[in-house]
Amino acid sequence: MDFTLNDEQRLFRDTLRDFVDREIVPVARDWEASGRYPTEIVEGMKQLGLFGLAVPEEHGGLGADTVSFALAFEEISRGWMGIAGILGSHSVSCFMLARHGTEEQKAKYLPELATGQRRTGIALTEPGAGTDLQGILTTARRDGDDYVINGTKMWITNARHADPLPVLVKTDPGASPAHRGMSILLVDADTPGLEVTRDIGKLGYKGTESCEVVLTDVRVPSSQLLGGVEGRGMQQALSSLETGRINIAARSVGIAQRAYEEALGYARDRTAFGQPIGDFQAVQLRIAEIAVRLQSARLMTYWAASRMDDGVRMDTESGMAKIFASEQALACATDAMRIHGGYGYSTEFEVERLYRDAPLMSIGEGTNDVLRGVVAKALLAGKATLR
């Protein structure tokens, strides 16, 4: 069992770390406060090839191993978690297209998605259906060689830039169980009837848009059916969310890492009663607790990522990593804020933003309570072991 990165992974991490320190850390707080879209950062990620993380090499991507995939989200989130969201939804969609798309669909989209010339996201959630995807109401009616889509999607990251936008629909609304009638259609950005109606205000997770998308009589050719076969949309979406949970776990590690760095630096520099506050035992205990939580979350995330690289089904492992790392991120951000005292509540310090970004990690890609049920059922059914 090897707990170290190989030379290639270490070089990749160091390259990303340098990029984040140069291009993201100096501007994140001001750009988030102003609502400025991070165009220059996106261009930098294109230059690094990061939009091709989940695209196989034969289609022009990096074809990155899953540990390197996790490293990318950890390092970017250390600088600004919202930026990782731009890359996250894109990567989940690319993974799904690479795994389930027809050869024609892969050839059409993946090369340009790998370079960032195209970007994408994934439209699953609806106003009345989040975790319960089988409850979606968006339909796609077959009309000759086309499908006609009607419905509304919510919380769609990259909605204003996605081309194509994969949309989860019901091609057979009467199917029982419901997932047998669900499919994914690839909707090009310029398709009539596809409209981004509004941006949704958020506590944190700034830098990328989260939108409501309305589809009104959107007509797409049957060749845009992902994989070319109806009724597989739910399985296609869930398989891609395994990587999504790895990226959420890794983002959580990035938040925890930044919380640790900010707390440590402040404890060294801030004085009270004539000495650095890091000399006080109460502060030392909090710093130690942050460090333990951070490293535990990191190791669990890398473990889950390595299991995926081993080629095994790892929905249990990714779920466990996402649950644990997300909760440690919030705990670390909270302790870092306490170490900062009143300044931790100020928008002039980074920990305030970390505290706002961290809660989303326990919600995104399946809420932690739902994932606990998924993990428990797998263990009880003998589909996963911890030995």
Could you report the per-residue pLDDT of 336-380, keeping only the tens digit for each?
Answer: 999 999 999 999 999 999 999 999 999 988 899 999 999 999 999
355's tokens: 């505290």
Region 133-231: CATH code:
2.40.110.10
Fold classification of 235-380 is: Butyryl-CoA Dehydrogenase, subunit A; domain 3 (1.20.140)
Instruction: Tell me the percentage of the chain whose pLDDT exceeds 70.
Output: 100
Is the link from the previous residue into 38 a cis peptide, with omega within 30 of 0? no
Catalytic residue (choose from 75, 209, 212, 365): 365
Instruction: Residue count of the chain, please give it.
Output: 387
Over residues 129-187, the pLDDT tens digits come to: 988 899 999 999 999 999 999 999 999 999 999 999 999 999 999 999 999 999 999 99
Give the pLDDT of residue 130: 86
Q: Chain-centre distance of CA 14, in angstroms?
A: 21
- 312 pLDDT higher than 80: no
Residues 6+ apart with CB under 8 A from 363: none
User: Helix, strand or coil for residue 213?
Assistant: strand
- Whole-angstrom CA distances from 312 to 4, 52, 318, 379 are 21, 23, 11, 16
Give dist(CA 381, CA 354) in Å, integer.
Answer: 38
- 1 pLDDT higher than 70: no
**How much is the mean pLDDT over the chain?**
95
The amino acid sitting at 197 is T
Cβ burial of 387 (10 Å; 0-12, 13-18, 19+) is exposed
Over residues 29-74, the pLDDT tens digits come to: 999 999 999 999 999 999 999 999 999 999 999 999 999 999 999 9
Q: State the greatest distance between any 2 C-alpha atoms of the chain, in Å, as a whole number.
A: 80
Q: Chain-centre distance of CA 1, in angstroms?
A: 27
List the chain domain ranges.
7-115, 133-231, 235-380
Give the pLDDT of residue 313: 72
Give the pLDDT of residue 5: 93
> Angle at the Cα of 138 (from 132 to 140), degrees rounded to 5?
130
Superfamily of domain 7-115: Acyl-CoA dehydrogenase/oxidase, N-terminal domain (1.10.540.10)
Is the link from the previous residue into 166 a cis peptide, with omega within 30 of 0? no
- 322 pLDDT higher than 70: yes
12's tokens: 């990749």
Residues 6+ apart with CB under 8 A from 116: 42, 45, 46, 50, 51, 52
CB atoms within 10 A of CB 386: 7
- Fold equal for 7-115 and 235-380: no
Identify the band that residue 249 occupies on the pLDDT scale cut at 50, 70 and 90.
Answer: very high
pTM for the whole structure: 0.96
Partnered with residue 218 across adjacent β-strands are: 149
Cβ burial of 311 (10 Å; 0-12, 13-18, 19+) is exposed
Over residues 110-135, the pLDDT tens digits come to: 999 999 999 999 999 999 998 889 99
The amino acid sitting at 201 is G
Active site residue 43: no
- 18 pLDDT higher than 80: yes
